[in-house]
């Protein structure tokens, strides 16, 4: 059978490469297309493997238009010859596929932090002996960058002193310059703060000889950066060189993850809403079509939630029939893992985008805005007073959750921290949320809500009625409350209490009890505003699903807590019950012979595997919150 398969493959390959008679014009054109496409693939493969290729660039396709041209020629020829039914068959399908996916199937976005670009430009200005770019004011930076962008002189050569980090950034730009432009999408600047961040990337693209510069997308993440984003965009659009460069189109990314970690979910959600409104106003003022790129995570603490509701809760005029969203690793499988899930997910995006345009959501009343602004100040203060100002919070966090163990395991897509040293501010948003999800406490999602609600209700009882009115009439506020209510339904402060008892030092127990009291008060206020007697009163289907999963997740939580205790305290022993571990109790073999999993682990046999299994099981059970 294997030999027959090989022979058939050889015959088909020989037929595929056979010389085409000149009296078959369509096959002649498609034969040339085949050869050039093969050369394109081989050149890309050689460049990726060895950095150089023996195949000249002229023998390949460098953009999708070159690939489409002969296909469109065949299509027009068939139509003019009366063979439109043939043209509208597989050829038209293929034309659509090429137009959709290009030569690379998926375009790759490049993402780098603004500070890394600043380091490169700073090295250049110091090498040129004109000062330290890092120490210049924003106005000085912009003036110098614009003067260089308007000129043509090269800024640096191979003699530029480079650290490993600087070389890494420049190497990325050189790779972009070498590979076909069709393979890339946007260049995203994370932690963007000002117009100079965008101009710096434009200059580095030019200096590294990127023939078709990638569109540059600033990503505004922290609360202060979101507040300053409209002014930064306005400054960019006021620059004539930049307006001509972007040709009337701009993309801006807003970050849900780091804004939530910086100020709490309540304040971040409100500031993201206001930032979008202001950014759209700025774009309209300068006649630029602005596309919002939503950097949502899969979890509620990172901006996640049901697709349809998330889109419909966006401010009016911010979508206009198009938007970009990230699809995070933890939700790719549940949204795109199977063909029918793919179609359902795309249908939800399309339907919500159309509905938002045809029936825009209501704008908040002035009194609602004033109340939200007041609550946001209180929520931010409450959140930061605990997460950043409480002297022993970091110690409590690392003891009460599996954050340290998670950081040591190779189960994440990126390092858990942006910098090896540092506290919560250097921790990435994913492990920050993940750690609290594992304990079923979800602190980053709800912390700040209770203090904000309590403040305005105690100030004036009429504010309670206004909050209930906002919940019933304003999609943004309703979705925000409903998602937090859903997280409370998945939470269990009893698990957090167990972790405290097993893993946290006694002097920190009162701090944990205080947080759990805050949790209980916030849940009560949330139900009062939603007009519910019990959690998920309005979604009995989800409530039943969570009830069914609860016993399994709780078992994993308990198992994880005791596993963490054994990892952190090797002298701690759990005495197994005979009826649960009969085989082990009767066996004369030592445990390390019975459990030979993950031999490279630093922990006792089986402990790391148990921890990974409980982590994945709890995350799966939490679904949209982990």
Query: Would you give the DSSP letter of residue 19?
Result: P
- Is-catalytic flag, 261? yes
Are 511 and 396 within 8 A, CB to CB? yes
User: Greatest CA separation found in the chain?
Assistant: 89
Pairing of strands 108-113, 184-190: parallel
Taking only Cα atoms into account, the Rg of the chain, rounded to an integer number of angstroms, comes to 29
**Candidates 18, 152, 162, 261; catalytic one:** 261
303 Cβ neighbours under 8 A, 6+ residues apart:
256, 257, 260, 269, 272, 294, 295, 296, 297, 310
Task: Determine the straight-line distance between the first and last CA of the chain, rounded to whole angstroms.
Answer: 47
Query: Would you give the DSSP letter of residue 337?
Result: S
DSSP β-bridge partners for residue 251: 291
Q: Which residues of 545-571 are buried (b: 16+ CB within 10 A; e: fewer)?
A: ebeeeeeebbebbebbbbbbebbeeee
Token pair listed for 96: 């659509």
From residue 231, give the alpha-carbon distance in Å to each of 220, 227, 235, 281, 386: 12, 8, 6, 11, 31
Tell me how far apart the alpha carbons of residues 599 and 604 are, in angstroms, rounded to a whole number. Answer: 9
Give the full edge-to-edge strand order of the sheet including 215-220.
108-113, 184-190, 215-220, 249-255, 289-295, 324-325
Tell me how far apart the alpha carbons of residues 207 and 132 are, in angstroms, rounded to a whole number. Answer: 19
Task: Give the 3-state DSSP-derived string for 504-527, with helices as H, strands as E and coil as C.
Answer: CCHHHHHHHHHHHHHHHHHHHHHH
Are 526 and 484 within 8 A, CB to CB? yes
Torsion 597-599-605-609 (CA) sign: negative
Tell me how far apart the alpha carbons of residues 293 and 324 are, in angstroms, rounded to a whole number. Answer: 4
Tell me how far apart the alpha carbons of residues 118 and 124 are, in angstroms, rounded to a whole number. Answer: 10
User: Where in the sequence numbering do the catalytic residues fall?
Assistant: 261
């Amino acid at each position: 059978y294997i030999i027959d398969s090989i022979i058939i493959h050889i015959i088909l390959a020989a037929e595929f490469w056979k010389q085409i008679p000149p009296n078959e014009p369509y096959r002649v054109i498609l034969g040339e297309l085949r050869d050039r496409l093969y050369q394109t693939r081989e050149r890309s493969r050689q460049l990726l493997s060895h950095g150089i290729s023996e195949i000249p660039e002229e023998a390949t396709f460098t953009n999708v238009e070159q690939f489409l041209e002969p296909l469109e020629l065949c299509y027009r020829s068939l139509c003019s010859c009366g063979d439109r039914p043939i043209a509208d068959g597989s050829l038209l399908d293929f034309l659509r596929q090429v137009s959709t996916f290009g030569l690379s199937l998926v375009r790759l976005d490049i993402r780098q932090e603004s500070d890394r670009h600043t380091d490169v430009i700073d090295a250049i200005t110091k090498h040129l002996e004109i000062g330290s770019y890092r120490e210049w004011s924003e106005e000085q930076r912009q003036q110098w960058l614009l003067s260089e962008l308007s000129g043509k002189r090269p800024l640096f050569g191979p003699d530029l002193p480079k650290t490993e980090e600087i070389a890494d950034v420049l190497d990325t730009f050189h790779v972009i310059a070498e590979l076909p432009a069709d393979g890339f999408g946007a260049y995203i600047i994370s932690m963007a703060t000002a117009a100079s961040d965008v101009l710096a990337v434009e200059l580095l693209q030019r200096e590294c000889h990127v023939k078709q510069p990638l569109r540059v997308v600033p990503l505004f993440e922290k609360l202060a950066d979101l507040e300053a984003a409209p002014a930064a965009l306005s400054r960019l659009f006021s620059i004539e060189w930049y307006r001509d460069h972007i040709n009337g189109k701009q993309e801006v990314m807003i970050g849900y993850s780091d804004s939530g970690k910086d100020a709490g979910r309540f304040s971040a959600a409100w500031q993201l809403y206001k930032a979008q409104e202001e950014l759209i106003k700025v774009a309209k003022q300068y006649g630029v079509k602005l596309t919002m790129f939503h950097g949502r995570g899969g979890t509620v603490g990172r901006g996640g939630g049901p697709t349809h509701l998330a889109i419909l809760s966006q401010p009016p005029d911010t979508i206009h029939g198009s938007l970009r969203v990230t699809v995070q690793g933890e939700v790719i499988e549940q949204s795109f893992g199977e063909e029918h899930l793919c179609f359902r997910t795309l249908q939800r995006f399309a339907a919500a985008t159309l509905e938002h345009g045809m029936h825009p959501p209501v704008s908040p009343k002035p009194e609602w805005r004033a109340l939200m602004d007041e609550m946001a100040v209180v929520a931010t203060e409450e959140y930061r007073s605990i997460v950043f100002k409480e002297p022993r919070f970091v110690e409590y966090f690392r003891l009460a959750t599996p954050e340290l163990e998670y950081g040591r395991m190779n189960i994440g897509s990126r390092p858990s921290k942006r910098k090896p040293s540092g506290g919560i501010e250097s921790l990435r948003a994913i492990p920050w949320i993940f750690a609290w999800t594992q304990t079923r406490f979800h602190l980053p999602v709800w912390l700040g809500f209770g203090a904000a609600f309590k403040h305005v209700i105690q100030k004036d009882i009429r504010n309670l009625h206004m909050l209930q009115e906002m919940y019933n009439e304003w999609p943004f506020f309703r979705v925000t409350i409903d998602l937090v209510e859903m997280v409370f339904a998945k939470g269990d402060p009893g698990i957090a209490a167990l972790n405290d008892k097993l893993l946290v030092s006694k002097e920190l127990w009162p701090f944990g009890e205080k947080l759990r009291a805050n949790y209980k008060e916030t849940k009560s206020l949330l139900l009062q505003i939603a007009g519910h007697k019990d959690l998920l009163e309005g979604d009995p289907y989800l409530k039943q699903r969570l009830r069914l999963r609860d016993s399994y997740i709780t078992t994993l939580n308990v198992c994880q807590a005791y596993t963490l205790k054994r990892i952190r305290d090797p002298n701690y022993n759990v005495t197994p019950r005979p009826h649960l571990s009969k085989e082990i109790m009767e066996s004369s073999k030592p445990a390390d012979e019975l459990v030979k999993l993950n031999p490279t682990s630093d922990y006792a046999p089986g402990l790391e595997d148990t921890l990974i299994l409980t982590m994945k099981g709890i995350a799966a059970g939490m679904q949209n919150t982990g």
